[in-house]
Amino acid sequence: MIGAKIEGVGAYLPPKVVTNSDLEKIMDTSDEWIRKRTGIEERRWVDHESTSALAYQASLLALERAQVSKDEIDLIIFATLSPDHDFPGAGCFLQERLGLPGVPALDIRQQCTGFIYGLSIANTYIKSGEYRKILLVGAEVHSKGLDKSPKGRDISVLFGDGAGAVVIGAHPVEDKGCDSHIYSSHLHADGRFAKELWIAAPGTSEDFEDRLNRQMVDDGLHYGYMNGKKVFAHATKSMVAAVMEALEYNQMDVSQVDLFLFHQANLRINSMVARELGISEDRVFNTIMKYGNTTAATIPIGMNDAIAAGKLQPGMLVMTAAFGSGFTWGSTLLRY
């Protein structure tokens, strides 16, 4: 059979480090408050870069590590909630930066679950024979859209900027238990909770006469809103369920997984998921302490850092899971 294999991983974080102490100076918050509730110690914020600019740097590194020429890429999948512009999608801007005219660019908007959805799409395309080399990117520039006044402290302390990318290629799988490939992805959504974590404006809702006007801005509708308690409860439950779904589908046990790469929204969520699964926290690789929540970029950035730290090595069985706005959630089981 033909399977989809991750051939190379890359990441890019903007050089500007913003610590919790830096945020103390502009918001009614404290380093202790942020660490205790989220586990975040610092994050990266851009000076001037765009989302596609971060994605470009991560993509170059992924291509180099995969030893793949950019001209071999026949599809770009770009997951982000913070594109360069409302339209066209950021994938087209990345395609232009890479110098790949004619190559299709697919943008997906599943927020924190975007990379998991992207893995599913790439896996399906490659197994069908439609494409042979896919560049999958998750990238975000949150800092340009955060309310940095004291009013925005509960959300603005959480988010960072960054990008991660993987090159996924078609490879023969002779031994499903040993050969590197994506086993399966399991995707879910529940729009009943869409407004528990969202940005209301700009928008074309029936509640609005204008897509954007001064009153919306004055009311702060262009900033994110989150019902933290509800998100926390649903995230923990849903990520555990998604992990178990992938294991049961592949007739595997949690003990067989070498490394867990979860979405990085809150260290307490990941710790609780680990407890519910009965796994030690040293089997979960976290980056939220250094980068905050980079939404669609968290899992590929984590993969990149885990490789650099020697925690992720070829042949390892890896479980990824994420939960985010929508609500959306899912998991992917793969052998790296």
Q: Which residues pair with 150 in a beta bridge?
A: none
- Per annotation, catalytic residue among 123, 263, 266, 304: 263
The two tokens of residue 8 are 């190379």
For residue 213, indicate whether it is catalytic.
no
Q: Where are the alpha helices (DSSP H) in 131-266?
A: 153-156, 214-218, 228-249
The two tokens of residue 13 are 């974080």
d(CA 276, CA 112): 21
Residue 66: CA atoms inside 13 Å, Cβ hemisphere, count?
A: 29
Which strand (E) or helix (H) includes residue 108? strand 105-108
Radius of gyration of the chain (CA): 19
The two tokens of residue 109 are 């908007």
- Per annotation, catalytic residue among 92, 112, 186, 304: 112
102 Ramachandran zone, left/alpha/beta (phi>0; psi -120 to 50): left
The residue count for the chain: 336
- What SS3 state is found at 55? helix
- The contacts of residue 319 (CB under 8 Å, 6+ apart) are 243, 246, 247, 257, 259, 260, 261, 331, 332, 333
Q: Where are the alpha helices (DSSP H) in 136-218?
A: 153-156, 214-218
- Per annotation, catalytic residue among 20, 270, 293, 304: 293
For residue 48, indicate whether it is catalytic.
no
Residue 295: CA atoms inside 13 Å, Cβ hemisphere, count?
A: 28
- What SS3 state is found at 166? strand
Catalytically active residues, by annotation: 112, 263, 293
